[in-house]
Amino acid sequence: MTKLVKSVKRVYVWLFARKAFYRFNLYFYKLSMCGLGIRNFENDSVSGEKAFIRYLIRNRKLHSGVILDVGANVGNYTVMLRKNNISLPIFAFEPHPVAFRKLEETARTHQFTAIPEGAGEIPATTTIYDYSGDGGSEHASMYEDVFSTLRHSQAEGVVIRLTTIDDFVAKHQIERIALLKIDTEGNELNVLKGAANTIRQGLADVIQIEFNEMNVISRTFFRDIKSILPDYKFYRLLPNGLLPLGPYNTTEFEIFAFQNIVAIRQ
């Protein structure tokens, strides 16, 4: 910390570290997170996903291999890829039966393969939870506490099947994954653990992960995800492109709020 930064901090603390300014500080704290690419979930432009797809196209990262969309829900992400004229084979994983029926319809229209399974650390039959009486939402999670603690809602469980990325890659003889996108409401680390061989062999070029408050429930730190991907450089998505995150530090990495993180193999 430079002398100038220390001086600015000292003055700010003296002026604003007071109970009267608590709401003021909290408001600008949350606002500043939006400027860092956090809590920008309103649409694909604000979240940075559209800029990310343009980056991949511009850098010729979507010219060969396949795309795996894990936690596809009804297929909105894959539809965005197709609307950007990305013609690679896409496998979209969705274990919730209600969401999967809608995903199947979307798959027929947009020419991709819908997989009625989730992905995890090991192949298993398990339970996924969603809003009671309203199954198939984009918030469906392997963790029931997501609903009782974060959503303040009753949850309803449905039995599903899980595969692993390693098993899927071996079964389909996949030699290159251009993009592995994981949005599994807190289960992202387990998906990566089930892709250990795929990662070790260097088959996945780009990995996109959603990191959010669900990781509090699953007790997953950003550091856990970074540690399992040692040969990757990490970025956070901004509306106009990718922000390099640099060396790990808790202040900038361990923020448990919606953000799109991209890992690119070096």
**Cα(18)–Cα(5) distance, rounded to whole angstroms?**
20
Owner of token pair 């343009």: 54
| pLDDT above 90 (res 144) | yes
Where do we find the tokens 């997989």?
Answer: 115
Nearest Cα neighbor of 235 from 48, 64, 69 is 48
Residue 1 predicted with pLDDT over 80? no
Closest CA to 168 of 41, 68, 46, 74: 68
- For residue 2, what pLDDT is reported? 84
Which domains occur in the chain, in start order? 1-35 (no CATH), 44-265 (3.40.50.150)
The DSSP secondary-structure symbol of 20 reads G
Length of the chain, in residues: 266
Spatial contact of 259 and 37, defined as CB atoms under 8 Å apart: yes
Residue-wise pLDDT for 82-140, tens only, equals 999 999 999 999 999 999 999 999 999 999 999 999 999 999 999 999 999 877 899 99
pLDDT, one tens digit per residue, over 226-235 is 999 999 999 9
Tell me the C-alpha distance between 114 and 95, whole Å: 10
Question: 231: which DSSP letter?
Answer: T
Average of per-residue pLDDT across 130-159: 91
> pLDDT averaged over the chain?
96
- Mean pLDDT for 212-234 is 97
pLDDT average, residue stretch 252-258: 96
How distant is the alpha carbon of residue 249 from its chain centre? 20
